[in-house]
Chains A and B, each alone.
Chain A
Amino acid sequence: MNFHDVRDLLWLSTACYGASFILGMIKTRYRFPNGLLESPFVIILIGFCLQTRALYIRGIEIHGCPLGNGLERTQFILWSLILAFLLLRLIWKLNLLGTFCAGVSLFLGSLSLSLPAWDTPYWTADGYTRLFQDPWIELHASIAIFSYGLFCLLAVVGMMYLSQRQALLSRRTGFLGPYLPPIQELDVAGFRLLAVGVSFLTLSMVVGTMHWTRHPEFVSQEKLTITTALWIGYLLLLVMRLTNRLYGSRFAKWTIALFIIALFSLSLVNSKTKPQAFQQIHSSPLAQVKL
């Protein structure tokens, strides 16, 4: 185990999330000694510290915010998810929320680390220029990814809502039902998370738009379309929830569906690198006329 190696650290943090998930599930069924009651939370905290260190080292390597490939983006979202959970836990203790977050981090973290194609060392390529040379666009990207973390947490809350609802509709005690938070609280939590997530995404869009208006050549049409569509999707969800046109189980299902779409669309929202953009400028008919 090399504590200076990004992948080793990320594997270790994923293992911590896995351990926390397993302990959390066991804790729901069997009583723990008083001294070990908080062990799932402590292990999440250790995992979070390891993940932070890994992303920090990668950031040093690429001289910027590590969002250049699939692994980095997934890990950054998971980091945001755990950060959002830790912040939320300060004001509001939802039973099993940490366990569900750890479960999602275990699944997506293992997946991203198991696919070598997701971790291409783009920063070692010839002619690599820093991913984010403009601090504003770096801010835009980090806020956007943090909002994705919040939407991930929203999807987790949606899963908990559907689990509790299913347990209640089955009219049996069930394994998890008694330990999950009440569905009304989950509904309120989902609404608040959506509102905060949309606010962050909107802020990120505003910052991104400022960059786009100055340098439209750096933003691909694909990225523009997908990001705007996703923002409109979440905004629409918020409006429909506010006006009580979408609520309960359908709202929970939409939060999960939108997050899955957001996750898959991430690979398509890469900004063009500077050389690509310059190449595009110089090969355009307008540029040829000028030349």
Chain B
Amino acid sequence: MTTIVVLVVLGALVLWGINVYNRIITLENRYQNAWSQIDVQLKRRTDLVPNLVETVKGYAAHEKEVFDNVGKARAAMTAAKSVDQSAEAANMMTAALGRLFAIAEAYPELKANQNFLMLQEELSGIENKIAYARQFYNDAVLQFNTVITTVPGNFFAGPMGKTKHVYLEVPEADKELPQVSFGAQA
């Protein structure tokens, strides 16, 4: 009789442990997957940039500094290895593109160019997707951090080698740029 009780209690404990363990792994996968969603958008944006630069150059070739900034951001983007570096390069790119679109306002012919309009919509769409994907990423990190720092997850986090993850944040300067994310986060 006693043996059965002990076995049942042990079995329940094991099932409970598996449950908590799986929860932590699921949440970790979720934020990692959320990051790859951001990464997909960053790559798409990087791919569109040369096309945009070519189009704008046709009308505003002398705005050299702007093109240089975009070029630097693109180089940083391509060279980025870690999440930190990608995030930093992405912020650079957002700022550089913001300036480029601000300048485009001064060129009516450019603004009437169909290819430019298409690229502008695509890029502001991507900007918007990055903002949303980043928000989901931060939500996922928040959930993960909450689970591994509260009972019972905190008993498991240590042995599993899980520590709190950091959030992604947009630099303050970004929010002031008027042109980039068309109404996405005002």
A and B form one complex:
no
Which B residues form the contact surface with A (CB < 8 A)?
Answer: none
- List A residues at the B interface (Cβ < 8 Å): none
